[in-house]
Amino acid sequence: MRVIQFREALREAMNEEMRRDKDIFLMGEEVAEYNGAYKVSQGMLDEFGEKRIIDTPIAELGFAGIAVGAAMNGLRPIVEFMTFNFSLVAIDQVINSAAKMYQMSGGQFNMPMVFRGPTASAGQLGAQHSQAFENWYANCPGLKVVVPSNPYDAKGLLKTAIRDNDPVIFMESEQMYGDKGEVPEEEYLIPIGKAVVKREGTDVTIVSFGKIIKVAYAAAEELAKEGVNVEIIDLRTVRPIDYDTVIESVKKTNRLVILEEAWPLANISTEITYMVQKRAFDYLDAPIIRVNTADTPLGYAPTFVEAFLPSVKQVMDAVKSVMYK
C-alpha cells in the first residue's frame, strides 16, 4: 500500500468529496493563494477556483457565520481554522448557531458543515496557541467531534464528516501534518463514533486519541521489554464516544490508564473514568489512572513544554501503578 503524509490524506479527502459534490467548498485564512498555512489545501485553488476555495480575512466569527448561513441554504462548507485556539473567536457561531439550528428550526435546517484545523500544543507557541479544546466542543450536544491520529484515519473520517448532515468538529495537530502512513488509493469511509484497538494486549488497557497516542505506543514498547503486555485503544471520536470498545477491553485486562493531552479538570478522560466505573466496576483490579497535562497555561520555554506534556515515563509509571500496587 502507498505511504502518504497526514496533510496529503486530508487534501485527498477534500478533493475527492469536492469532485463528487459541487455544493462543498473550503474557506479559511490562507487556504487559497498561499495553499494553506500547513499546505493541506495545496493545489486546490487551481482545481476548484476562487468560488470554492475562499481566502478569508482574519475574522473567525465572521466567516464562521457565513458558513452557518451557507449550510442553512443547502451548501456544505468546510471551515479551516488556522488553529482551534482561534475558534474561540467564532465559538458563538459554532455553539449557538451550528450546533443548535436543527433543533431550533424543528428539523427544517440540516447543518452539513465541518470545522477543521489543528488543536493542542505544537512546540514553543506560548500559552494562547497551545490549548486543547476537544472536551469543550464534545460537551455540546448537536456537534460531533473527531480527532484522528494517523493518515489512514484522517482521510476516512474526514470524508465521512464532510458527508454528515450535522456539524462536525475535526481536530488535527500541526505536529502530525508531516507524519506518514499507509492510505489505500481506493475510496473508503470510517464511521464516526467507532474506536479501534490499535495494539492487542492482556495486562492493561491504555485509551487515548490524537497525537499524544504516540506516547502510549512508545510506553507500550518499553513496557513490553519488562514483560507487560499493553492494549491500546484509539478513540478517534470523542463525541460520540465508543464506550463499548473500551468496556470490552477493560473486561479483558481489568486495568485502565487514560492518556489525554488536556487539562485535568472535566476532560474526556474524566468522562471515560466515570462510564467505566459505572458499567465495569466489578472487572477492575485497580483504580483507573488518568495521565493529563499540567494544570497550567503552557509556557514558551522548551523546559516548560517538556514539563507540561504527558511523558513516556508518566505513562509507564501509571501502568506499573495499576499493575503492581
Residues taking part in catalysis: 60, 129
- Tell me the pairing of strands 76-80 and 24-28: parallel
Pair 322, 290: CB distance under 8 Å: no
- Euclidean distance between CA atoms 112 and 21, whole angstroms: 12
Residue 22: is it exposed, middle or buried by C-beta count within 10 angstroms (0-12/13-18/19+)? exposed
Query: Is-cis flag, bond preceding 240, omega within 30?
Result: yes
Q: How big is the chain by its Cα radius of gyration, in Å?
A: 20
Quickly list DSSP for 199-222.
E--SSEEEEE-STTHHHHHHHHHH
Quickly list DSSP for 3-43.
EEEHHHHHHHHHHHHHHH-TTEEEEETTSSTTS-TTSTTTT
Pair 190, 150: CB distance under 8 Å: no
Best CA proximity match to 319, nearest among 258, 238, 271: 258
- Helix then strand then coil, in percent of the chain rounded to 5, is 40, 15, 45
Number of helices (H), then strands (E), belonging to the chain: the values are 12, 14
DSSP letter at 95 equals: I
